[in-house]
């Protein structure tokens, strides 16, 4: 039940902000800014220094807001997945599929979203309990890839990540994306500590997602 509840919240969020900053402080401020702008899905990547501490702090800050869902990204192995889960991560995202990580997430009833590029990879991930697969890097494909994947795998839920922007997010949703991962220009204000710009950009993304 816990896993299904988390999946529902991820789907309801629609847009997951991929936080890749070079310090704990910037990562936390960036996450706060996108949440303020209306994006309630947060993926803290393990390229962020002490990412587990960032996850723990954000979980504590937003513990009373059930619409906010905090997860971990760039999780390459089961050890990192467990570290993230114990810190409070409510979903785990990987750039590639890893069987041991899938089993760890299933054990803790935490959704696992591995990066896949082929039908074979998607099938393997689904057989191992992945409820959502990350089409990554999505900029290698067009939104029609979702339709193509759903022909042989009609039950696959796809989250395109990498290259998703304000110009193509509507096309990805219309093609059948259950959720999208967004980084890059969403955080263009962070370098200058212009977090209001981050919030405004987040608002644009969520508005486009909800309108389509």
**What amino acid positions are annotated as catalytic residues?**
43, 134
Strands 41-45 and 133-135: unpaired
- Kindly tell me the burial class for residue 165, based on how many C-beta atoms sit within 10 Å of its own C-beta (0-12, 13-18, 19 or more): middle
Please list the residues that pair with 45 across neighbouring strands: 73
Whose CA is closest to 94, among 53, 56, 67, 124? 124
167, 188 Cβ separation under 8 angstroms: no
Q: Which value, to the nearest 10 degrees, does the dihedral of the CA atoms of residues 154, 147, 204, 53 take?
A: 50
């Amino acid at each position: 039940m816990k896993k299904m509840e988390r999946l529902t919240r991820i789907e309801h969020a629609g847009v997951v902000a991929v936080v890749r900053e070079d310090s704990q402080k910037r990562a936390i401020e960036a996450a706060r800014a996108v949440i303020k702008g209306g994006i309630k899905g947060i993926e803290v990547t393990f390229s962020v220094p002490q990412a587990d501490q960032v996850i723990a702090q954000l979980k504590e800050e937003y513990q009373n807001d059930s619409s906010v869902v905090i997860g971990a990204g760039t999780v390459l192995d089961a050890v990192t997945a467990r570290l993230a889960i114990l810190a409070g991560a409510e979903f785990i995202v990987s750039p590639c599929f890893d069987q041991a990580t899938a089993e760890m997430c299933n054990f803790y009833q935490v959704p696992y979203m591995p990066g896949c590029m082929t039908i074979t990879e998607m099938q393997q991930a689904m057989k191992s309990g992945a409820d959502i697969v990350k089409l990554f890097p999505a900029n290698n494909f067009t939104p029609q890839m979702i339709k193509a994947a759903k022909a042989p795998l009609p039950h696959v839920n796809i989250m395109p990540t990498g290259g998703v922007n304000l110009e193509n997010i509507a096309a990805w949703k219309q093609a059948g994306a259950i959720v999208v991962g967004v980084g890059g220009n969403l955080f263009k204000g962070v370098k200058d500590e212009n977090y209001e710009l981050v919030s405004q950009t987040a608002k644009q993304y969520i508005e486009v997602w909800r309108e389509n």
